[in-house]
Amino acid sequence: MAVDIQPACLGLYCGKTLLFKNGSTEIYGECGVCPRGQRTDAQKLCQPCTESPELYDWLYLGFMAMLPLVLHWFFIEWYSGKKSSSALFQHVTALFECTMAALITLLLSDPVGVLNIRSCRVLMLSDWYTMLYNPSPDYVTTVHCTHEAVYPLYTIVFIYYAFCLVFMMLLRPLLVKKIACGLGKSDRCKSIYASCTTSRFSQCCRRSAEACYSCYDLLVRKKRLLVLFSHWLLHAYGIVSISRVEKLEQDLPLLALVPAPALFYLFTAKFTEPSRILSEGANGH
């Protein structure tokens, strides 16, 4: 009986692409990089990605989707100033831009036309860094087998960011020009380009910048409450992402800690208020 002996396929992510299939007959090509939308299996054969993303994959995509939105909101607040009455409209526009970008990205992804994607299951950490695992059989020649083993978790994010940039450049300048009359001429577009960080860092900076030292100061302006609830939502999202919703009875009580940083700040800010410290120092206390 003749046995077709082929050279071993070296490397962790090198595989053989299917060239021809007729019934039970399959012919594979030489060992190399797998096409986009495929990854190697245990037999070093390139197989199409046909699975659906897991919950943790969706949480990762959700974080990457919220990142530009949070940056937009941060810089809109940073450059809007107290005299601007258009910050809320810019916030809504930024939310609309990112939402439209996410929907279009999902609709254009495989399978086209539905709000779902097919993906390859992430098996290990190295799946994200296939470029580091190109083999060198003779320590001279490198066989390049870099491909998106976590398809489409890499490329879909960049496509989404591209749509976010397009919508931002098309919609935001029109809105700022028509509505943002409270800003100076040179400051109107700064929030647009500054956004091209984390919830805890921005919350602390905002509370300090606004000199918000009591619950009354927080409640007197609705915009402050909107920003605070946005930070709480992001903090809760992070907790859910870490827990992966595998043990709800153990992890969900941690959501009670979401308002803890803000409450701690409000209850202790009066003791560290700069003006009070300076006045006590001047009085010799």
Query: 87-125 pLDDT, tens per residue?
Result: 777 888 889 999 999 999 999 998 999 998 999 989 899
Instruction: Give the residue, 193 or 37, on which the prediction is more confident.
Output: 37
- Average pLDDT in the 211-238 region? 65
- DSSP code string of the chain: ----------SSS-EEEEEEEETTEEEEEEEEPPPTTEEE-TTSBEEE--BPPPHHHHHHHHHHHHHHHHHHHHHHHHHH-TT-S-HHHHHHHHHHHHHHHHHHHHHHSSSTTSS---BPPP-SGGGG-GGGG---TTSSS-------TTTTTTHHHHHHHHHHHHHHHHHHHHHHHHH-TTS-TTTTTHHHHHT---HHHHHHHHHHHTT--SHHHHHS-HHHHHHHHHHHHHHHHHHHHHHTTS-HHHHGGGGGGTTHHHHHHHHHGGGS-HHHHHHHHHTT-
CB neighbours of 118 closer than 8 A, spacing ≥ 6? 37, 49, 50, 51, 52, 110, 111
> pLDDT grade, residue 84 (50/70/90)?
low
- Model confidence at 229: pLDDT above 80: no
Q: Give the global pTM.
A: 0.72
How much is the pLDDT for 38?
A: 92
Which of 58-72, 88-102, 123-137, 204-218 is predicted with the least confidence, judged by mean pLDDT?
204-218
| pLDDT, tens only, 157-189 | 999 999 998 998 888 777 766 665 555 554 555
| Cα angle, residue 104 at apex, residues 93 and 88 outer, rounded to 5° | 10
Q: Which two tokens stand for residue 30?
A: 């030489």
- Average pLDDT in the 131-156 region? 89
Q: Residue 126: phi, psi to the nearest 5? A: -65, -15
Tell me the C-alpha distance between 51 and 220, whole Å.
50
